[in-house]
Amino acid sequence: MDSNVQKRRENKKSLRVKVISLGNAEVGKSCIIKRYCEKRFVPKYLATIGIDYGVTKVQVRDREIKVNIFDMAGHPFFYEVRNEFYKDSQGVVLVYDVGLRESFDALDSWLGEMKQEMGSMVNMESIVFVVFNVTCRSTVDLTKRRVVDEGVGRLWAESRGFHYFETSAQSGEGISEMFQAFFSSITDMCENGGKRPVAEVTVGFTKEQADTIRRIRNSKDSWDMLGVKPGATREEVNKAYRKLAVLLHPDKCVAPGSEDAFKAVVNARTSLLKNIK
Ligand code: GTP
Ligand code: MG
């Protein structure tokens, strides 16, 4: 075969992509990347100073993908350095620690910083997001340390069309599977003209269901949970209950946490009706 034709074919098959890591300081971003690229775990915390850059090659189907990884420092001090590196990212690794609530709560502000730095014209549909987390930090029993349940993390991620994985950089559990899924989604997106394929953002539940579950989890009392004013009538409580029951019934809603939210709504209605004449 003509060597130019051969070269052109090979070029067509190779892709160059840029991915970044985001998340609070000390949540395990660098460890996850090191575990994947170098197959090792460093227990000592070495804060990333500004940015760490690395390149790796991966194979997705018949394509060779050259991945440029920009591992960002999570500390606010490095904002001026990392803000230069958001542009042109095709993949984002968002990391939080399941043992640190504030690192989970900070995910929205990381997305906010990213949008701000990439400019208002950025199309979030042309970026693949994956949410990782560190499943254990020490020999301490995870069930005692864990403060963010899997369902809560998964709901946050999947309701936005992001992938969600639980991993451990220490044991290596789940790391290569999740990176492979991540790179394969980026490849799908590139082959789909730079837009996340529809199937990927279809998660089997609606944004309304996800938002309602979140609202129920954060509600301060039973009135608030049902979305009625304190002192509402039986009819108003029942009407609000029916609406939520239809939305969240476990037979109809597959969003993570829907079962607990449904039970909470049933209990809220029961306790309110007890006290309304
Ligand atoms: P910055 O660079 O400051 O933004 O932090 P980072 O998010 O890159 O954190 P880093 O990867 O350096 O890890 C922080 C600490 O968490 C280190 O002490 C790691 O050893 C520890 N760590 C990270 N992943 C795991 C894990 O899966 N299990 C355990 N036990 N510890 C982990
Ligand atoms: Mg780091």
* ipTM given for this complex: 0.97
Q: Establish whether residue 142 lines the binding site of ligand 1, counting it when its CB lies within 6 angstroms of any ligand atom.
A: no
Question: What is the spatial distance between Cα 157 and Cα 94, in angstroms, rounded to a whole number?
Answer: 10
Which residue's CA is the closest to the ligand 1 atom numbered 22? 28
Q: What percent of the chain has pLDDT over 70?
A: 85
CATH for 207-275?
A: 1.10.287.110
Q: Exposed/middle/buried for 122, CB within 10 Å: 0-12, 13-18, 19+?
A: middle
CA 120 to chain centroid: 21
The ranges assigned to domains in the chain are 15-192, 207-275
Which has the closest alpha carbon to 191: 128, 130, 132?
A: 128
Note the CATH number of domain 15-192. Answer: 3.40.50.300
Query: For 132-191, how does the pLDDT look when each residue is reduced to its tens digit (9 = 90+)?
Result: 665 544 433 454 477 888 778 888 888 788 888 888 888 888 888 889 888 988 998 888
pTM of the full predicted structure?
0.73
Ligand 1 in reach of 138 Cβ (< 6 A)? yes
Q: Is the CB of 136 under 6 A from ligand 1?
A: yes
Starting from the CA of residue 77, give the closest ligand.
1
